[in-house]
Structure 1
Amino acid sequence: METAPSSTYTNKERRWYEICLGGRLHERWAERFGGLTMISAQDGTTTLTGPVIDQAALHGLLRQVRDLGLPLLLVRRLECRESGSADASVSEDARQTPSC
């Protein structure tokens, strides 16, 4: 019988995510999103970026987005990079993501 993969990540395996929302969030909402970096763009969108401990935490973040009534535009897992090595095909935003 095959064992299912663990649903929790170790600290070494934490994942970085980018969550794009339709609408602008005031900075006071940052605490509700677990310390993710929040950037409001001129096009009226807000991007949350940062590490998420596990899938349960990701679903919790998405539940908060739903509860605020903001359109969810994008959820993307960012690839972690080794210190000093940046993949040329990775977007500028992903290159700014700290090493895991």
Structure 2
Amino acid sequence: MSSSDPRRQEIQRYAIRVRGRLAPRWAARFDGMALVPQDDGTTVIDGPVADQPALHGLLRTISDLGLPLVSVTETAPQAPTHARGDQP
């Protein structure tokens, strides 16, 4: 199966850094992504993002909450997902 096969897709991970500290209860607003407070007073919102529209939705949520965006970094992807019946 080629890497361009639409049945096989890597789930990208992102680390989105915002200024301020977010309590763990806010994780539900970010599709259950991990909220990791940093020593510099920022919070990293870390986890898998299904696709570009989902990433834009997360960024829109950050904007709607008035959180100052510091950075968006793509991190190592998770293992590819497979369509039902496919072999890895």
Question: 1:52 is aligned with what amino acid?
Answer: V
Structure 1 length normalisation: TM-score? 0.67
The residue correspondences of 1:1-100 to structure 2 (distance < 5 A) are: 12-80=9-77, 99-100=78-79
Identify which range, 68-77 or 9-18, moves more after superposition: 9-18
In proportion to residue count, which structure has more helix?
1
Question: 2:66 is aligned with what amino acid?
Answer: G
Please, which runs of 5 or more residues in structure 1 have no aligned partner? 1-8, 81-98
SS where residue 48 of structure 2 aligns?
strand
SS where residue 63 of structure 1 aligns?
helix
> Hey, which bits of structure 1, 4+ residues long, moved more than 2 A?
9-12
Please, which runs of 5 or more residues in structure 2 have no aligned partner? 1-5, 80-88
Q: How many positions carry a matched residue from both structures?
A: 74
Between the aligned partners of 1:63 and 1:13, the Cα distance in structure 2 is: 23
Between the aligned partners of 1:76 and 1:26, the Cα distance in structure 2 is: 21
Displacement of 1:10: 5.8
Identity of aligned residues (%): 47
- Cα separation, partners in 2 of 1:23 and 1:11, compared to 1, 3 Å: farther
Instruction: Return the structure number with greater relative CO, CA threshold 8 A, min gap 6.
Output: 2
Between the aligned partners of 1:66 and 1:38, the Cα distance in structure 2 is: 16
Give the match for residue 83 of structure 2: none
